[in-house]
Amino acid sequence: MRVPFGVAAVSCLCPLVVFLCVVSQSCYGTQVTPRNQTKLVDIDKDSHHRPKRGWVWNQFFVLEEHMGPEPQYVGKLHSNSDKGDGSVRYILSGEGAGSIFIIDETTGDIHATKSLDRERKSQYVLHARAIDRLTNHSLEAESEFIIKVQDVNDNAPTFPDGPFSATVPEMSDIGTSVFQVTASDADDPTYGNSAKIVYSILEGQPYFSVDPKSGIIRTAMSNMDRETRDHYTVVIQAKDMAGSVGGLSGSTTVNITLTDVNDNPPKFSQKSYQLYVPELAPVGKAVGRIRASDEDEGQNAEMTYSITNADAAAIFTIITDADHKEGIISLKEPLNYEKRKVHTLSIEGSNTHSDSRFMHLGPFKDSTSLRVIVGDVDEPPVFSMDYYIMDVYENSPAGTQVGTVTAMDPDSTNSAVRYFIENEEEKPLYFTIGVNSGIIRTTQVLDREETAWHNISVMAAEVDNPRMVSHVPVTVQILDINDNVPSISGGNTAVIVCEGTKNGQVIQTIRAADQDNFANGKFSFFVPADHQANPNFTVKNNGDNTASIMSRRREGFSLDRDQEFFTLVVVVTDGGEPPLSSTTTLTLKVCVCQKNTRGRNSNNVCQAQAFLSSAGLSTGAFVAILLCIVILLAIVMLFTQLRNKKTSKEPLILSEEDIRENVVTYDDEGGGEEDTEAFDIAALRNPKGSESHRKFHSYLTPSLLIDGHDVIQQIIQKKVAKADSDTRGPPYDSLQTYAYEGCGSLAGSVSSLGLTAAAPELNYADLEDWDPGRQTLEHIVGDQPATGQINPDS
């Protein structure tokens, strides 16, 4: 890098100045202590008083970008203990020591061996020591000092963020601030003018200027029009050394755009426009568009449109589209070529957003005229009414006239019209229409009670152009006549009369029903005159289409003395022209009515009872009868199964030795078994309970029973008592009556009435063949032959 002449001269003078300072300090014996100077430190603290020692130097400086052939001299280290005999040795350490900075160990001179850059490193911190060359003892304590790199103007100003973009409204006044640029310089701003920058404009005159110190760009011309030119390129230069000769410079570009303001009014390109619209154009639909031009942009070009003449505004309307640029014209009412063929519209367009600063330029609106030509179109016939309502009386004969519809061709040709009734669904038509006259007539007799309203659609078509068809709805109302006889509602149902109903008490309210319209009048009720006065009931006409059935019994009704059913003849008549009437015989049934929770009759409802109406059994009664029959059949089947089960049980007599007791009746002594009628009671026995009973059965011979009547009575009484206390079955004793033996028995008579001899003695040896029950018998009768008596307790 080349060094200016002035810088080279300064670099040569610096070592000389340093040397003079050192010499002056040595000559005058004064010690200068600058900011980085280190005071004397007494190393040898002995009893001998030595003069104070210390470093002697000033702050060191070295110029950056030194390009000389020899190392650059920086300065000199010197201790006041140095006598100049070479006994002191100087040592340098710290940043760059030995590489960038070298020191002469004997003289203490410091040199820079390399070119330095202040922008990379502005100062270096080093440490110096002074030692005795012979003893290596420190003569001066280690001290820190700084070598500063002195700046030279080697960096040009720069714009690191450029190029730039800026905007300013058009038509701005002179001096309006646009943008500020700021350059940077890497040189030292505290030393000299190396970093002092001055701005100037190289390109962009005469529209813009720049402040030399601040770098603010301003407008230099008024009335700059965006519509004429909207973009400018401005080049700004920054020069250091306060702009003096030899300074370094840099430049940047600023792109300036003029923003729009509303300084242009809207204008229509033509003073008059023309628009064709057919007369059948639908209302509410757009029929045309119009647009005024505006040189501005954005919201400054937005505008609204309006129709200023009242007659046209009644038929047409205009709105602005979504972009606020065009006016959309539509119809408020349908057009009619036959009535008016041309319409003239005065349309005005004005800006929506105006700027008061430019109102002096004139009104920001414009107007034009629009001539709308109505096109003739062949239109379908037009009915005289939008819809028709007609009426006809029911039961009118076929061909009765209902009404007339009228349509005509709105075109200038005035074509003839023909009429038809539309029937797309092929339903039966109750009406017909005259093709040329439009008269609607009935095709059959109509009944209001069947259909009260009929809706039809009538078509009208041009004779010259049948495709021109129009429709109109026609509603036909069928008017009522009094052709239905009134009747009493629920007249077939019996009227319930509760027991105890008193004279004058209302039994039930009846109503009349009639299919005719209520316009025929009110209903009235009465008992016909040709019937005798009913002593039990009467009818009271309430005057509101109802009547009350009332009791005439003073003592009331009772089922005990009165019949159950009564009849009452009632006539009901309507108020039609002519009036119609009907006679109804009401059935009244006397019964005991149900009571509510308060003990009063509940709406004349009879209590539940077995009642079959004359029409036959009711469903509930029929179901009840079937249920009873099913229950009876089930009971019969149950008894049958129990009887079969009883007969299938095991027989009572289990073996031949089973003992039975029968009730035997003898009519006489003859006949034997032939005269014996016995009743077997084996079916009444419990075979399981009789097993143990058989073991204690006593076998008594007739001879033994004859001799002692008291003994027999005692035995029988004992058995009766035992049988009465036995709960396992019926008693087992037998009642025998000896009357006659009969004559058919081979064994002869067994009666004891004819015996006169004494009973033979018993042979006890025969008892050995008996079963174990023999011993019991022995105990009872063992001593009888000797004593002739029997113990009654046995």
Residue 606, pLDDT score: 79
Mean pLDDT score of the chain, rounded to an integer? 76
Distance in angstroms (rounded) separating the CA atoms of residues 610 and 602: 20
Residue 766, pLDDT score: 52
Residue 650, pLDDT score: 52
3-state secondary structure of 72: strand
Name the CATH topology of 59-150.
Immunoglobulin-like (2.60.40)
Please determine whether the domains at 284-371 and 487-596 fall in the same fold group of CATH: yes
Distance in angstroms (rounded) separating the CA atoms of residues 553 and 545: 26
Alpha helices in 653-746 (DSSP H): 687-695, 702-707, 709-725
3-state secondary structure of 36: coil
Q: Which of 85-94, 334-343, 426-435, 755-764 has the lowest mean pLDDT?
A: 755-764
**Cβ pair 264, 294 in contact under 8 A:** yes
pLDDT in tens, 472-508: 999 999 998 888 888 888 767 788 888 878 888 888 8
Name the CATH topology of 164-259.
Immunoglobulin-like (2.60.40)
Residue 667, pLDDT score: 52
3-state secondary structure of 627: helix
Match 């009208």 to its residue by tokens.
Answer: 460
Contacts of 62 (CB under 8 A, 6+ apart): 72, 74, 112, 116, 147, 148, 149, 150
Distance in angstroms (rounded) separating the CA atoms of residues 348 and 304: 8
* 347-352 average pLDDT score: 92
Who wins on pLDDT, 774 or 219? 219
pLDDT exceeds cutoff 50 at 573: yes
Q: Which of 152-166, 217-231, 546-560, 693-707 has the lowest mean pLDDT?
A: 693-707
Beta pairing partners, 506:
550
What is the percent of the chain where pLDDT is above 90? 28
Residue 478, pLDDT score: 92
Provide the token pair at 455: 């809706």
3-state secondary structure of 744: coil
Who wins on pLDDT, 551 or 777? 551
pLDDT exceeds cutoff 70 at 242: yes
**Cβ pair 330, 320 in contact under 8 A:** no
Task: Please calculate the CA angle 708-714-720 and round it to the nearest 5 degrees.
Answer: 140
**Cβ pair 349, 305 in contact under 8 A:** yes
Contacts of 496 (CB under 8 A, 6+ apart): 507, 508, 588, 589, 591, 593, 604, 605, 606
Output the DSSP codes for 441-498. Answer: EESS---TTT-SEEEEEEEEEESS-TT-EEEEEEEEEEEP-S-S--EETTTTSPEEEE
Who wins on pLDDT, 686 or 721? 721
Do you find a cis peptide bond into 163, omega within 30 degrees of 0?
yes
Distance in angstroms (rounded) separating the CA atoms of residues 348 and 370: 11
Most confident by average pLDDT, 484-493, 613-622, 749-758:
484-493
Q: With cut-offs at 50, 70 and 90, classify the pLDDT of residue 2.
A: very low
* 175-197 average pLDDT score: 86
Residue 608, pLDDT score: 61
Secondary structure, 3-state, 291-342? ECECCCCHHHHCEEEEECCHHHHCCEEEEECCCCCEEEEEECCCCCCCCCCE
Residue 748, pLDDT score: 53
Q: Closest Cα partner for 525 from 565, 492, 568, 567?
A: 568
Q: Closest Cα partner for 147 from 112, 190, 199?
A: 112
| 149 class by beta-carbon count within 10 Å (0-12 exposed, 13-18 middle, 19+ buried) | buried
In this structure, are strands 495-498 and 581-591 parallel, antiparallel, or unpaired?
A: parallel
* 642-658 average pLDDT score: 60
Q: With cut-offs at 50, 70 and 90, classify the pLDDT of residue 220.
A: very high
Spell out the domain ranges in the chain: 59-150, 164-259, 284-371, 382-479, 487-596
Who wins on pLDDT, 547 or 34? 547
**Cβ pair 443, 430 in contact under 8 A:** yes
Over the range 723-733, which residues count as b (16 or more CB within 10 Å of their CB) and which as e? Answer: eeeeeebeebe
pLDDT in tens, 506-558: 888 888 888 877 666 678 888 887 776 778 888 888 888 888 888 887 777 87
In this structure, are strands 676-679 and 663-666 parallel, antiparallel, or unpaired?
A: antiparallel
Contacts of 510 (CB under 8 A, 6+ apart): 488, 489, 490, 491, 525, 546, 547, 548, 549, 570, 586
Q: Which of 37-46, 93-102, 479-488 has the lowest mean pLDDT?
A: 37-46
Contacts of 36 (CB under 8 A, 6+ apart): 59, 144, 145, 146
Provide the token pair at 465: 């152009």
**Cβ pair 75, 15 in contact under 8 A:** yes
What class does CATH assign to 382-479?
mainly beta
Distance in angstroms (rounded) separating the CA atoms of residues 392 and 442: 9
Provide the token pair at 189: 């701003």
663: left (phi over 0), alpha (psi -120 to 50) or beta: beta
Residue 393, pLDDT score: 92
Provide the token pair at 490: 């629920």
Amino acid identity of 417? V
Query: How is the beta sheet containing 365-375 ordered, strand by strand?
Result: 272-278, 365-375, 342-351, 303-307
Residue 723, pLDDT score: 75
Distance in angstroms (rounded) separating the CA atoms of residues 782 and 776: 10
Provide the token pair at 696: 């204690």
Cα torsion 262, 264, 265, 269: sign: negative
Provide the token pair at 392: 């006809």
Most confident by average pLDDT, 322-336, 604-618, 696-710:
322-336
pTM score: 0.42
Provide the token pair at 70: 């020899």
Provide the token pair at 600: 């009063």
**Cβ pair 25, 32 in contact under 8 A:** yes
Contacts of 401 (CB under 8 A, 6+ apart): 439, 440, 441
* 101-129 average pLDDT score: 86
pLDDT exceeds cutoff 70 at 572: yes
3-state secondary structure of 563: coil
Distance in angstroms (rounded) separating the CA atoms of residues 238 and 250: 5
Provide the token pair at 662: 């029968």
pLDDT exceeds cutoff 80 at 567: yes
Over the range 601-612, which residues count as b (16 or more CB within 10 Å of their CB) and which as e? Answer: beebebeeeeee
Residue 353, CB half-sphere, CA atoms under 13 Å: how many?
11
Distance in angstroms (rounded) separating the CA atoms of residues 306 and 44: 110
**Cβ pair 303, 347 in contact under 8 A:** no
Name the CATH topology of 284-371.
Immunoglobulin-like (2.60.40)
Q: Which of 133-142, 453-462, 656-665 has the lowest mean pLDDT?
A: 656-665
Q: Closest Cα partner for 140 from 42, 56, 33?
A: 42
Q: Which of 69-78, 181-190, 586-595, 717-726 has the lowest mean pLDDT?
A: 717-726
Provide the token pair at 559: 């089922």
pLDDT in tens, 251-298: 999 999 999 998 888 999 999 999 999 988 999 999 999 999 998 888
Q: Is CATH 2.60.40.60 the right assignment for the domain spanning 487-596?
A: yes
Beta pairing partners, 290:
327
- The most distant pair of C-alpha atoms in the chain lies apart, rounded to whole Å, by 209
Output the DSSP codes for 578-598. Answer: S--EEEEEEEEEEEPEEE-TT
Residue 706, pLDDT score: 42
CA dihedral angle for residue 11, residue 14, residue 19, residue 21, rounded to 10 degrees: 180
pLDDT in tens, 670-682: 444 444 444 454 4
**Cβ pair 223, 316 in contact under 8 A:** no
Distance in angstroms (rounded) separating the CA atoms of residues 294 and 364: 10
